[in-house]
A and B are shown apart, each in its own frame.
Chain A
Amino acid sequence: MHLSLPPPNGPAHGSAMAGPLSAGTLGAAGQFITCALDAAEYGIDIMAVREIKGWSETTVIPHAPAWIRGVINLRGVIVPILDLRARFGMPLTVTTPMHVVVIIQCGARTTGLLVDAVSDIISVGPEEVRPVPEVGTGAPASLLTGLVPLERGMVALVSLESLLNFTNEVAVPPPELQS
């Protein structure tokens, strides 16, 4: 599924996003866990986060895009791990035990996101969310739902819906950038 970009006026799009999609998977306003990838900060809807755990070695999945780091055993459930840095077009993360996996649940699907560290929890009002410009961010625009300017810098809100909808791309690496 491809999500349309939010309309430019902030308050209007808050209500537009509350449509058919569940609040846990998407929604430009609310609380977000921010995590660091190098100097950049990304926000993940806190309602979708199930747990945060340390990095552990994965089982490699053959023929998968590089940003799928493999699968892990999460108490009996097999969960794929996405390298968020690589997913946003940057090089693969060189993992250490200090790296963190954010387990998120989106619909019936459970996935882990590999990030450098989890830094903060922020509350964002609908009026604070700015639209994602067509170009200028390093990531494919469809993977973001909005930008939030903070005093210490900018947080890019991640669209979990499009991030986890990788089934179609699994067969044809590398992923095409959608706009």
Chain B
Amino acid sequence: MMFDHLRDTYFEESAELLESAYAQLALLAEGTHDADTVHALFRAVHSIKGGGGAFGLDRVVGLAHAMETLLDLLREGELAMEPPLIALLLRGADALADLLTAERGGEGAPQGFEDNLVAAFHQAAGSARTSPASIDTAPAPPAGGGGASGWQISFRPHPALLRNANEPLLLVRELARLGPLTVKVDAAALPALECIEPEDAYLGWSFTLQAGVDRTAVEEVFEFVADDCDLVIEPMEPASGGVARDEPAGGSSPAAFPGSPSEAVAARHETPAPAASVRVDVAKIDRLVNLVGELVINQAMLVQLGSTLPPSLCPGLVGGLETLSQHLRELQEGVMAIRTQPVRSVFSRMPRLVRELSGQLGKDVRLVITGEATEIDKTVVERLADPLTHLLRNALDHGIEPSAERQTAGKSGQGTVCLGAEQRGGRIVIEVSDDGRGIDRARVLARARERGLVAPDAVLGDAETDELIFLPSFSTAAEVSAVSGRGVGMDVVRRDIQALGGRIAVESRHGAGSRFLLSLPLTLAVLDGLVVSVGRQAYIVPIAAIVESLRPRSGDIHALVGHGEMLAIRGAYIPLLPLHRCFGIPDAERDPARGIVVIVETDSDRQIGLLVDDLVGQQQVVVKSLDANYGPIPGTGGATILGDGRVALILDIPGLGYGAQSSSVPAPTPASQPQPALH
């Protein structure tokens, strides 16, 4: 359905608008805003309202309108931007997000969900309209008593008013807030049904407002539409105002409302915005990415073929191939850039989480976000939400202490949680840190012993102890709280991050806080790899994992009983992992001194030396999944196709069989199957 499609677009756009609204609110909260901030916020809320009206989302419209009214006052400087108002606006944005989510799901939010908030907005806005001291929503009678006792208003919208996504009904409601209102519709201009032009405006209304409010209060209601309508506001004869005095003060009487004036409005049009962006199905982008991947492989094949020809045979070939390579790399980067997204889209959900959680936990916590413009692959961004949520929950629940405890410890009563992102080389590093109590190592160790995760007599260093929290089913919360500690713990976070090709590490200082560092690849589709050969096989070592490569001297190789071989390098010993033994390759170089050692970093920042036969070269490789036709292969993270058309497996360094907490080398088992002859 076309309409459903538009509806989806509306919800997507609203989510983006809310994101922008949150960003503006964050500026406001920091106090670094300017006039544009409130304007931008107003525009976002207004757009949500406009679209909401078109889809009949009355509750969204109602709330957005209440927010808009307050924002307008802030915009005009009639109200000062004070922390309670910012908090109210944040709550409003949260509620708007909830309403939208619920409406999108089809069930709608519980009745009355937003009523209190709408009232609070009206109250805040009303306090500006009337005397600053008054917080009553009821329109106050004119203090001096010298004003008119009521107003006679004649209002006839032009078509442009409707096209600008204004809603007469909302104006009527707004008027009704000022006092008892009687509405008469003038349908004289209404043509016969078959002649109705749905985008035209035919109705006019005359209102009798029986409240002695200022003329400006009435004019404000029509402020946005004054240019798009015929509007006459006249004071009422004092005699006719007497009736109104009997009505209960402050209450709008719904009985006085006519049917929805929007009935005559079949369609509303928003002002067309200049197309700054295009919505594209991700599947289409993925197809592009795949095709470019094929091109890269093809180009590598051509380069290889070209190198076999004598240069004199075709002098332009080498230069042409080089240009092709350059263009291809640019094309690839361009296509990849389509897939990237600023991490803002996931970061922007976090302030709300922190706000709600700190409320629940009764802790005073400030969230500092940096680097939200850092861009990363869309898939990665989407899959970051869960791990980040978990880390933040942990930081708030376990990390940050209650205010009193903090002050006793000589810290500021307000806890600070930092969420930051930055690009470092080919990776994105995301940091989640808090200034709380840090990891309680004694408790971690006790828990690990209790669960049999660590031998009772084992002595662990601080870093090793911290690593224990990543073990499956490890949760130190003494009681399982609603916020965190439900048994799905840091091991899940680590698994999520590793599934994205990333690593996670923790640093903690007792009493000073913890810091989690997530290192993630920019993209999942392409990686820079070093091609190494082992026997007749070629493997790809991700460049990101490589520390250095060297040809060892035989004197530097030491056999350690039960621990395989060690390589002595600059005074340290690095366990040596011969790939041929790990993967059972028969025709490989067995003497380490005649091979090459590639020193790589595992996920726990430990180094191991991969023994390979030779280095073949460095190239960008397109990651292809083996899952579709085969299944996962332990120790590898997919495969790629080399320039000569052969398949090469991509090594997954952390998956090569090194436990995070063990520095010992497990004896690699030779493949239990005899390897087939290859040719």
A109: Cβ under 8 A from any B Cβ: yes
Find chain A residues with CB under 8 A from B536 CB.
57
Asked if residues B630 and A63 are in contact (CB atoms below 8 Å), the reply is: no
> Nearest Cβ in chain B — how far from A75, in angstroms?
9
B633: Cβ under 8 A from any A Cβ: yes
**Contact stretch, chosen from A78-86, A123-131, A133-141, A143-151:** A78-86
> Nearest Cβ in chain B — how far from A174, in angstroms?
7
Given contacts A73-B645, A80-B630, A94-B677, contact A59 B537 (CB under 8 A): yes
Find chain B residues with CB under 8 A from A95 CB.
677, 679
Asked if residues B626 and A71 are in contact (CB atoms below 8 Å), the reply is: yes
Asked if residues B641 and A76 are in contact (CB atoms below 8 Å), the reply is: yes
Partner of A109, one of B583, B629, B633, B677: B629
Asked if residues A66 and B647 are in contact (CB atoms below 8 Å), the reply is: no
Is chain B's interface secondary structure helix, strand, loop, or mixed overall?
loop
Complex Cα–Cα for A67 and B514 (A): 50
Asked if residues B673 and A78 are in contact (CB atoms below 8 Å), the reply is: no
A6: Cβ under 8 A from any B Cβ: no
1/0 contact string of B621-639 vs chain A (CB within 8 Å)? 0001010111101111001
B 60-119 contacts with A by CB, 8 A? none
A 22-77 contacts with B by CB, 8 A? 57-66, 69-73, 76-77
> Nearest Cβ in chain B — how far from A87, in angstroms?
12
In the complex, residue of chain B having the shortest beta-carbon distance to the beta carbon of A66: B673
Asked if residues B673 and A59 are in contact (CB atoms below 8 Å), the reply is: no
In the complex, residue of chain B having the shortest beta-carbon distance to the beta carbon of A112: B629
Complex Cα–Cα for A51 and B467 (A): 51
Complex Cα–Cα for A83 and B678 (A): 12
Asked if residues B671 and A62 are in contact (CB atoms below 8 Å), the reply is: yes
Q: What's the count of A-B pairs with C-beta under 8 Å?
A: 93
Asked if residues B672 and A59 are in contact (CB atoms below 8 Å), the reply is: no
Asked if residues B635 and A62 are in contact (CB atoms below 8 Å), the reply is: yes
Partner of A108, one of B628, B641, B672, B677: B628
Given contacts A60-B585, A66-B674, A73-B641, contact A167 B649 (CB under 8 A): no
Complex Cα–Cα for A111 and B628 (A): 10
Asked if residues B679 and A57 are in contact (CB atoms below 8 Å), the reply is: yes
1/0 contact string of B344-374 vs chain A (CB within 8 Å)? 0000000000000000000000000000000
Asked if residues B582 and A71 are in contact (CB atoms below 8 Å), the reply is: no
In the complex, residue of chain B having the shortest beta-carbon distance to the beta carbon of A164: B629
A173: Cβ under 8 A from any B Cβ: yes
Asked if residues A174 and B629 are in contact (CB atoms below 8 Å), the reply is: no
Given contacts A62-B584, A76-B294, contact A170 B631 (CB under 8 A): yes
Asked if residues B297 and A76 are in contact (CB atoms below 8 Å), the reply is: yes
Complex Cα–Cα for A86 and B641 (A): 27
Complex Cα–Cα for A109 and B626 (A): 11
> Nearest Cβ in chain A — how far from B498, in angstroms?
19
Given contacts A73-B646, A78-B639, contact A66 B676 (CB under 8 A): yes
Find chain A residues with CB under 8 A from B297 CB.
76
Partner of A173, one of B537, B647, B649, B672: B672
A60, A70, A76, A80, most chain B CB atoms within 10 A: A60
> Nearest Cβ in chain B — how far from A137, in angstroms?
23
Find chain B residues with CB under 8 A from A86 CB.
676
> Nearest Cβ in chain B — how far from A104, in angstroms?
11
B 630-679 contacts with A by CB, 8 A? 630-631, 633-636, 639, 641, 645-649, 671-679
Complex Cα–Cα for A92 and B641 (A): 26
Find chain B residues with CB under 8 A from A174 CB.
673
10 A-B pairs whose Cβ atoms sit less than 8 Å apart in the complex = A58-B678, A59-B647, A60-B676, A64-B673, A65-B673, A66-B674, A76-B294, A80-B629, A80-B630, A110-B628
Task: Given contact pairs A66-B673, A76-B297, A78-B647, enumerate 17 new A-B contacts (beta carbons under 8 Å).
Answer: A59-B639, A60-B678, A61-B630, A61-B649, A62-B582, A62-B583, A62-B635, A62-B671, A63-B633, A66-B676, A71-B647, A73-B645, A77-B629, A78-B641, A109-B628, A173-B672, A173-B673
Residues of A within 8 A of B (CB): 57-66, 69-73, 76-80, 83, 86, 92, 94-95, 108-111, 167, 170, 173-174
Residues of B within 8 A of A (CB): 294, 297, 536-538, 582-585, 624, 626, 628-631, 633-636, 639, 641, 645-649, 671-679
List the 3 shortest-distance A-B pairs measured between CB atoms, nearest first: A62-B583, A59-B647, A66-B673
